[in-house]
């Protein structure tokens, strides 16, 4: 009887550790997915801005400039009832 209780105790500890690892893994995956979602939003916004980029002639300079730690995109903003304008 004592052996059976010891075996059940070992199984319980192993089960608890397994569930603990699953919960930790879930937290890690959730954090990684959130980071990936932020990066995906960044690239999606850059794609939208690049498609709306003005021409170099319209901007009077390079419409897309990369320097240092920044990307500058001059894009055209077109809305109904408002004259077109450029936005950095």
pLDDT value at residue 52: 81
pLDDT value at residue 43: 92
pLDDT over 80 (residue 87): no
DSSP E strand stretches across the chain: 64-67, 70-73, 75-79, 82-87
pLDDT in tens, 41-75: 999 988 988 888 888 878 788 888 888 888 888 88
pLDDT value at residue 75: 85
Interatomic CA distance for residues 7 and 1, integer angstroms: 10
Q: How is the chain split into domains, by residue range?
A: 1-51, 54-88
Instruction: Quote the pTM value.
Output: 0.58
pLDDT value at residue 30: 95
């Amino acid at each position: 009887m004592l052996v059976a209780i010891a075996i059940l105790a070992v199984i319980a500890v192993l089960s608890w550790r397994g569930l603990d690892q699953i919960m930790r893994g879930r937290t890690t995956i959730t954090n990684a997915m959130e980071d990936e979602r932020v990066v995906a939003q960044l690239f999606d916004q850059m794609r939208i801005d690049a498609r709306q980029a003005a021409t170099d002639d319209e901007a009077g300079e390079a419409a897309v400039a990369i320097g240092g730690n920044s990307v500058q995109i001059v894009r055209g903003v077109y809305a109904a009832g408002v004259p077109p304008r450029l936005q950095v």
